[in-house]
Amino acid sequence: MKTLEYVRVEDQLPDQVAAPGGILDSANIVGMWFATDKQATGVVRLELRQHEDVLKVRALGAGTVEPYDWGEITATAYGSGVTAVDTMAFSAVYDFGFLVTILAAYAKQGILVLDTFNTFTDSSGRSNYFSREFFHR
Amino acid sequence: MSNAMMTRVRDQLPAAGTRAALSIDLRPLMGGWVNYNENSTGINRVYIDDWEGTPTLRVFGASRPAPIDWGEVAGAAFADGVGGREAVGFTATYDLDFAQVLLAGYLNKRLLVLDAYSMFTDGSGRANYFQRDHFYLP
């Protein structure tokens, strides 16, 4: 049996357990997620859907009049371990031209926790920043 | 009122206008961070340094008999807002032969929380996975 490459114990398959293969099932994470903070100044809504085995995310940012629609992009889905079959986390990258935003999120006990890592590529002098936000269905 | 582009209210500077960009102070991130859980199957230690204003990471993965050195990569540092000057978070990506690992970390008081988003690229059939570890500075 071929030894799989790894860089930590968690990368390894348990003895006698086959790799699951295939695509993670995102049924438990798809849907509409709303910021728990009604006064949120960051992301106010996330829409997740699975389309032809691909996880898609659409984020909406807080606006003064109405939310900014960031559009839909493809996300990468992650399980809880190498033998997982269900999605419990995702990452995605928005490139707005003046700003690159990495979304890194996971679901836990009915709450979606979203970290954003924001890098400005314009000359506005704004600091690159991190945010952590919480969502419910 | 600043007319800088934005994707959410939080992108806006509190004071009007633009200003000269200053680098983010990396000192809060720097050091040799040790996993609180000595039996973690994930990342054992992470060393964060400052290379001319850019954070560098060196990660050691849990393994027996000795941790596995992932080597050093450059990362990116983040403040807690557009007017922030001290680093509270970082990202870095390891492109390994068999996997790509996005590291997304942030400080919570004196604790470093590190999330690893691992995507296998070797066709082994292993599921991409998320793992979280917590670290302290000894």
> How many domains, in total, are found in chain B?
1
What DSSP character marks residue B27?
T
pLDDT > 90: what percent of chain A?
A: 94
What is the predicted pLDDT for the residue at A105? 98
Does the beta carbon of A23 lie under 8 angstroms from any beta carbon of chain B? no
Does the beta carbon of A105 lie under 8 angstroms from any beta carbon of chain B? no
Q: Residues of B with CB below 8 A from A130's CB?
A: 78-80, 88-89, 106
Is B43 a member of any domain? yes
Is B1 a member of any domain? no
Does the beta carbon of B111 lie under 8 angstroms from any beta carbon of chain A? no
Ordered structural domains, chain A, with CATH: 22-136 (2.40.128)
Query: What is the number of CB-based contacts under 8 A between chain A and chain B?
Result: 201
Query: Is the CB of A41 less than 8 angstroms away from the CB of B97?
Result: no
* CATH code of the domain covering residue B112: 2.40.128
Assign B17 a pLDDT band (cuts: 50, 70, 90).
low
pLDDT at A1 over 60: no
Pick from A29, A10, A32: which is nearest to B128 by CA?
A10
Query: Is the CB of B91 less than 8 angstroms away from the CB of A102?
Result: yes
Does the beta carbon of A31 lie under 8 angstroms from any beta carbon of chain B? no
Query: Is the CB of A125 less than 8 angstroms away from the CB of B115?
Result: no
Query: Is the CB of B127 less than 8 angstroms away from the CB of A79?
Result: yes
Q: How far is A68 from B7, CA to CA, in rounded Å?
A: 6
Q: How far is B9 from B28, CA to CA, in rounded Å?
A: 26
Is B8 a member of any domain? no
Q: How far is A132 from B86, CA to CA, in rounded Å?
A: 16
Q: Are strands A31-35 and A129-136 parallel, antiparallel or unpaired?
A: antiparallel
Assign B16 a pLDDT band (cuts: 50, 70, 90).
low
What is the predicted pLDDT for the residue at B1? 39
pLDDT tens readout for residues B34-80: 999 999 999 999 999 999 999 999 999 999 999 999 999 999 999 99
Determine the residue of chain B that is closest to A70 in CA distance.
Answer: B7
Question: Which tokens hold the place of B113?
Answer: 């929380």
Measure B31 CA to nearest chain A CA, in Å: 20
Is B4 a member of any domain? no
Does the beta carbon of A130 lie under 8 angstroms from any beta carbon of chain B? yes
pTM value?
Answer: 0.95
Mean pLDDT of chain A: 96
Is B109 a member of any domain? yes
Is B116 a member of any domain? yes
Is B12 a member of any domain? no
Is B74 a member of any domain? yes
ipTM score of complex: 0.96
Tell me the CB-side half-sphere exposure of residue A104, using CA atoms within 13 A. 28
pLDDT tens readout for residues A103-137: 999 999 999 999 999 999 998 999 999 999 999 99
Q: Smallest Cβ distance to A117: which of B21, B89, B129?
A: B89
Measure B110 CA to nearest chain A CA, in Å: 17
Give the domain extent around B29. 22-136
